[in-house]
Structure 1
Amino acid sequence: MKLLGFLSLFVVVSCQPLQDAGTEDKTFWRKVGSDTLDTILNRKEETGIAKNVIVFVGDGMGIPTVTMARIYQGQLNKMPGERNQLTFEKFPFVGFSKTYDASHQVADSASTATAIFSGVKTTQATIGLDTGAKYDDCVADGNAKAKTLGMMTWAQENGKDTGIVTTARVTHATPAGTYAHINNRDWECDSAIPTEHSTCVKDIARQMVEDAPGKNFKVILGGGRKQLGAESDGETNDTSCKREDGLNLVDTWKKDKTNAEYVTTAKDLNALDLSKVDYLLGLFAPGHMSYVAEKEETRPSLKTLTETAIKMLRKNSEGYVLMVEGARIDMAHHDNYAKLALIEAVEFDEAVAAAVAMTDPTDTLIIVTADHSHAAIMNGYPKRNNEILGLAEDSTALFYETITYSNGPGYEHHHPTDETVVSSCSPDCSEIEDRAMSSMRDIRKEPDRENDVFYRHFSGHYRKLASHGGEDVGVFALGPKAHLLVGVYEQNYIGTVISYAACMGPEAHRCKSAPSSSTSLFTHSTLGLLIYALLPRIFIL
C-alpha cells in the first residue's frame, strides 16, 4: 500500500494533464503536500558502500536552467510545465554547492572540474593542480608538488574500471578534469602550448592517452578527433588547436590494448558487440559534438553514450566510476541560444533516466550537478502555462521574453547596429550600447523566432560570449551516502563525499566496513525513480 501511495503521488505531481490553474484548489494542494510529506517521512538513507559512482555534470546548468528545462520538458509532453519534474529532481537528497574558485568569484569549468573530481579548489583555468601552480606558467617542480589526484585515480587504485562521456571534445575542461594536470585548460594539443613550456608539460590529449589515469580508461566517448591528430581531410569546421607534432594519438591509444575498438559514428557504435570489447574510444566529431537539434546522423545521443559506457564498465565485479557531461548546455548559453540550451538539458535528463534504469540504488551512487551557472534569467510575470520560450510581457508599451540574459551576443540582435562595429569593438563593446540603446527591435514581428533554435534571446549588455553565473548550483544525489550531500557546502566537498562513499582515496580510512546493501532494499523514492525511467513517458500521460 505504501508503494501504491508513492506511485499515486508520482502521477499526481509529475504527470497531471494540462488544465486551468483554477482547478488546483485547496484540496488539491493539501493532498500534494501531504503525499510529499509521506514520501519524505518514509525516506531511508542508503548506508552501504558505493560499489559504483556516476557523476553527471550539466555544464552551465544552474538553478535557472533547471527550472526552465523542467517547464520546457513538461510543455513538450503537453502537461503543466511548472509541475513537471526532471528525473534528477526526484532524487531523494538535494544540496547546493558554492562554485567560486581560488581566484574568482565566478568560476570556469576547469577549476570547478578539479574541485568536483578531486576535492580540491584551485585557480581559474587550471586543471588538476592546486594553487601552488601558476596559471599559464609551467614550472616542473611546482607542478609536481601541486598535482591533485582525483576519483579516477582512486578508483583504479581500488581495482575499479573508469570512463568518461561528454558532448564536448574529450580534451575540454570538464572531461580533462578527470585525468589531466595542466596550467592552462586551452593546452589541449601541442601547438597550443607556448614554446617555453613545451618540455615542461604534455598537452591534454597526450596526457589522456599516455598517462594514468586517462590511459587506463575503459571508455572514452565524445568529440575531439582534431586534438588527437585523427581528423579526416576536410574536417576544418573546428577552430580549436591542431596537432603539429605529427602524432595520431588514436593509433597510440590502440597500441598497448587488446580488444580495443575505435568508432566515429553512431552506426559503428551500435554495431559493436560490447561483450567482446575491453576498451572503447568513440570520437564523433573533429571538435565538439553537434547539438541535438542539428540532427546529425553520425551523432549518438547522450543517452546512448551513457548506456554504452555503463554496459562496458559494469563488467568489472569490483565496480566502476563514470563521468557524464552534458557540455553543450553551457555552449548554447554562451551564445544566448536559450532553446538550444533547453533541448540539451532535456537530453541530459534522458541520460540520467537511463542510468537510473540500468543501476541499483543500493550499490550505485549517482550525483547530478552543474560545474557553474550561467547569466540566464527567468523574468516575471508570465501566466501559468505560458510558453517558456515566449514573451513574459506583451503590451504596446512593454514587451520582453521570459528568458533573457544579463550579457551576451543577443544584445546585437535586439539592438541592431553596424556589424563592423561589433567585429572591431573594444573588450566590453560599450560603444555598441551607446549607439543602439534607442533602437530596440520589435521581436513580436518575428513569429518564427520560437522555432529557430539559433535565435538569440535578449541580453542586457553586449559580450561576444555570455558569461557564467556565480550563484550556487544544485547537487542531486541518489544511492549510498547520498544523504551526505544535503545542505550548502563548498563545491570540493562533492569530491570528498565520493571518496568516502566509495571507500577509496583520501577519505577511505574513515569509511566503516559496511555491506553494499542498505537497511532498506528499496526506498519509496528510489523505486519510483526506477519505474519512471523504465516506463515510457507517454504511458503515464
Structure 2
Amino acid sequence: MESNAKAEPTKVSPLRLNTVRIFSLASALLLSMIVTVMCIGFLMSYEVATEVSSIEDIPYWKDKLPPEQQLWYDEAIEELQLALKRDLHKQLAENAIIFVTSGIDTETMAAARALLANQTKPQPALSWERFPHLGRLKNSCSNTELCDPFTVASAIFNGVRSNFRVGGLDSGVLFRDCAAAANISHHVKSLVEQAQEIRLRTGFVTTRRVTGANMAALYARTPNTAWECDAALPLAASAAGCIDVAQQLIKSATGRNVNVIMGGGRQTLVSNVPNTVWDPVDETTCNSQDKRNIISDWQLLNVKLKRDFAVLLNSDDLRELNGTKVDYVMGIFANNNLQLKNEVDARRRRVPQLSAMIMKSLNVLKRKNNRYLLVVESGVESTASVDKQMSTLLQLNDVVQQTLEKTSGSKTLVLVLFTNGKYVRNAVESSAETDVTPNVIDFGNEENTPIEQRLSNVATEAVVYAKGPRSYLLHGVHEETYMSYVLSYALQMGHFKPNSNTEQRHR
C-alpha cells in the first residue's frame, strides 16, 4: 500500500549549532586582529623608514631658501642625514688602526680647519671630524706640574696607570726599582702583546723615534722612562737586570714579533752614527755609545728564525718594497725624528712620507686569513711653532683620509687620538737622566699664583675620534686607561679573549 506521509526534516542539535557560530565568530575576530597587527606594523615600518632612510622625501626639508640661508640649510640637512642613518656597528672588529698625535690640541685643529675654509662656504670638517663617535680621556697628570709622555702612553695602551716615569708596569714598581720591574706579577700587557697572543699581525709607524715614548709603550717595560738607550742606563741599573728601551725591540718577545717597525731613532739603535747636516744627531736625545747595532741584530734574528723580512734605510727602499712578499719589516729612516714633507732636508735625506709608510705597512699586515693591529704616530714637540703644528695636522688629515679609502669600514675600527696637546712644564720629552718629582697642584690655594696661571700649566686631556665596529663605546668622558679595554673588547683579546671551548664569533 502506497504511503502519503512526507519525510520529516533532519533535526540539527542546538549544541552543534552554537559551536559552529562560536567558531565562526572566533575565526573572524582572530583574522581581524591579524590584519590590524599587520597594518600597524606596516605603518610603523613606513614611518621609521621614512624618517631614517628617506629624508629627501619630506617636502618640508626641500624648502627653497634665499642663497644666504640655503648654504647653511643644505649643510645641516647633510649632517642630519648622516646622523639618522648612523650604524652602531655592533659586530666585533677584525682589525684596528690607531692614529696617535701628540703636541697638538683642539685649538690648533680649529685653526687648521679655518685655513681650509673660505668666506663663501662652511668650514670643512677634518677627516676624523666626520667620525660618528667622540670621547674624551682624562689625563693622569692633569693635577700635577709635571707629566711624563711614556707614563701617559703606557696608561692608554696598557690599561693600567703606573707611577710617574714608570712604563709598562703597574703601580707596584717604583721609580728606578729594577728588582720590582723584573717581577712578572707587575708586568702589564700592552695592546700589541695582547694582539700577538691571538695571532694578529702587528705594526707601528711613527714620524718620531721608534724608541720614543708613545711607541716604546707598545713593547717595552722600564722603571725609568728616561732609559731609552745604553747611554742613559746607569751601570748599577744594568747590573740589576734592567734593559734599556731600544734593546727591548729585539730582547723582548713582544718587540721581536712586531711585523712592521718604521720611523726614526737610528742613534738609539746604532752606536756612533754619522752626524751630518742633512741627518744630524740630536745631542739632547739618547745617543748610543756601546758599539751596538740593533738593526743588524734584528736582521740576524730574522735570518735565524727563517723569516721573510726586509730592512729599509730610505724612501727608495720603501718604494721598492713588495709588502705582500715579506712578513717582517724594519725601516729606520733618520738619526732622530723624521722631517716633514715641506722641509728641504727631507729631499736630501730621502725620508719617506707618512702616507707611504702606512700604505706599505698595510701591504705587509693584510693577509687573507689574518687580522691586524696598526698604530701610527705623528706629532711635534710641545715647543713647536704654530706653522709646524699646522703642517703636521694638515698632513695627518690627508693621511687619515687615504687610510680610510684603503680599509673596510665594516671590519676595521679606526681611532684618531690627540693626546696631551700641551706640556708647558714637561719633564722628559728628551731622554735626559733627571731627578724630578711631580707636585700635585693645589687649586684651592691662590696665595701666590692666580688660578688662571695654574690652569694654563695643566697638560690637556686626550680627545679620541672613533669610527667602525664598536666605536660607539667611546662616547663621553672616560679614564685614559679605558681606551685600551675598548680595543681589547672590540678585537676579542686580552681579558676578552674567548675561552678555548668558546667559538670566536662576531656579533
Q: TM-score, normalised by structure 1?
A: 0.69
Cα shift at 1:316: 5.8
Q: Distance in 2 between matches of 1:131 and 1:68?
A: 39
Q: Tell me, what secondary structure is at the counterpart of 1:29?
A: helix
Residue 492 (1) aligns with residue 476 (2): no
Q: Distance in 2 between matches of 1:170 and 1:126?
A: 18
CA contact (8 A) 2:271 2:289 kept: no
Q: Distance in 1 between matches of 2:342 and 2:260?
A: 25
Which ranges in structure 1 are unaligned for 5 or more consecutive residues? 7-22, 376-405, 409-459, 462-466, 519-541
Pairing partner for 2:111 from 50, 53, 68? 68
Cα shift at 1:480: 0.9
Q: Deviations over 1:96-153 (max 9, x none)?
A: 1112249847643212211221111223332211221122443345653322101111
Pairing partner for 2:250 from 197, 206, 209? 209
Cα shift at 1:39: 1.6
- Matching residue of 2:293: 248
- Matching residue of 2:59: none
Pairing partner for 1:37 from 80, 87, 98? 80
- Matching residue of 1:474: 463
Aligned pairs for 1:90-489 (under 5 A) are 90-101=130-141, 104=144, 107-140=147-180, 144-199=184-239, 200-229=241-270, 232-235=273-276, 236-239=280-283, 240-257=285-302, 258-295=307-344, 296-297=346-347, 298-315=350-367, 317-328=369-380, 331=381, 333-335=382-384, 337-374=385-422, 469-489=458-478
CA contact (8 A) 2:271 2:288 kept: no
1:363/1:53 CA distance change after superposition, 3 Å: same
Q: Distance in 1 between matches of 2:271 and 2:323?
A: 23
Q: Distance in 2 between matches of 1:276 and 1:38?
A: 43
Cα shift at 1:34: 3.4
Q: Distance in 2 between matches of 1:368 and 1:228?
A: 28
Cα shift at 1:470: 2.6
Pairing partner for 1:54 from 75, 81, 97? 97
Q: Deviations over 1:466-524 (max 9, x none)?
A: x97533332111111001011111111000100000000013359x97754x8xxxxxx
Q: Deviations over 1:443-473 (max 9, x none)?
A: xxxxxxxxxxxxxxxxx99xxxxx9753333
Cα shift at 1:248: 0.8
CA contact (8 A) 1:163 1:217 kept: yes
Q: Deviations over 1:172-224 (max 9, x none)?
A: 00000110101222211112012221132111011012212111011100001
CA contact (8 A) 1:205 1:228 kept: yes
Q: Deviations over 1:357-401 (max 9, x none)?
A: 1110111111111221227xxxxxxxxxxxxxxxxxxxxxxxxxx
Q: Tell me, what secondary structure is at the counterpart of 2:497?
A: helix
Q: Distance in 2 between matches of 1:103 and 1:202?
A: 31
CA contact (8 A) 1:62 1:472 kept: no
**Which residue identity is paired with 1:259?**
D
* Percent identity (aligned): 28
Q: Distance in 1 between matches of 2:315 and 2:457?
A: 32
CA contact (8 A) 2:146 2:425 kept: no
Which ranges in structure 2 are unaligned for 5 or more consecutive residues? 1-49, 57-65, 427-451
1:349/1:143 CA distance change after superposition, 3 Å: farther
Cα shift at 1:242: 2.1
Q: In terms of mean alpha carbon deviation, does 191-200 or 468-477 score higher?
A: 468-477
Q: Tell me, what secondary structure is at the counterpart of 1:83?
A: coil
Number of aligned residue pairs: 407
1:160/1:499 CA distance change after superposition, 3 Å: same
CA contact (8 A) 1:372 1:468 kept: no
Q: Distance in 2 between matches of 1:50 and 1:351?
A: 21
CA contact (8 A) 1:274 1:311 kept: yes
**Which residue identity is paired with 1:47?**
K
Cα shift at 1:283: 0.7
CA contact (8 A) 1:56 1:367 kept: yes
**Which residue identity is paired with 2:362?**
I
**Which residue identity is paired with 2:495?**
P
Q: Distance in 2 between matches of 1:112 and 1:53?
A: 21
Larger Rg: 2
Q: Tell me, what secondary structure is at the counterpart of 2:171?
A: coil
**Which residue identity is paired with 1:252?**
D
Q: Distance in 1 between matches of 2:67 and 2:164?
A: 47
1:141/1:250 CA distance change after superposition, 3 Å: closer
Q: Distance in 1 between matches of 2:182 and 2:155?
A: 19
Q: Distance in 2 between matches of 1:197 and 1:407?
A: 27
Q: Tell me, what secondary structure is at the counterpart of 2:129?
A: helix
Q: Distance in 2 between matches of 1:101 and 1:164?
A: 25
CA contact (8 A) 1:110 1:124 kept: no
Q: Distance in 2 between matches of 1:230 and 1:170?
A: 16
CA contact (8 A) 1:140 1:201 kept: no
Cα shift at 1:327: 2.8
Pairing partner for 2:123 from 83, 92, 116? 83
1:5/1:368 CA distance change after superposition, 3 Å: farther
Q: Distance in 2 between matches of 1:292 and 1:186?
A: 29
Q: Deviations over 1:408-457 (max 9, x none)?
A: 9xxxxxxxxxxxxxxxxxxxxxxxxxxxxxxxxxxxxxxxxxxxxxxxxx
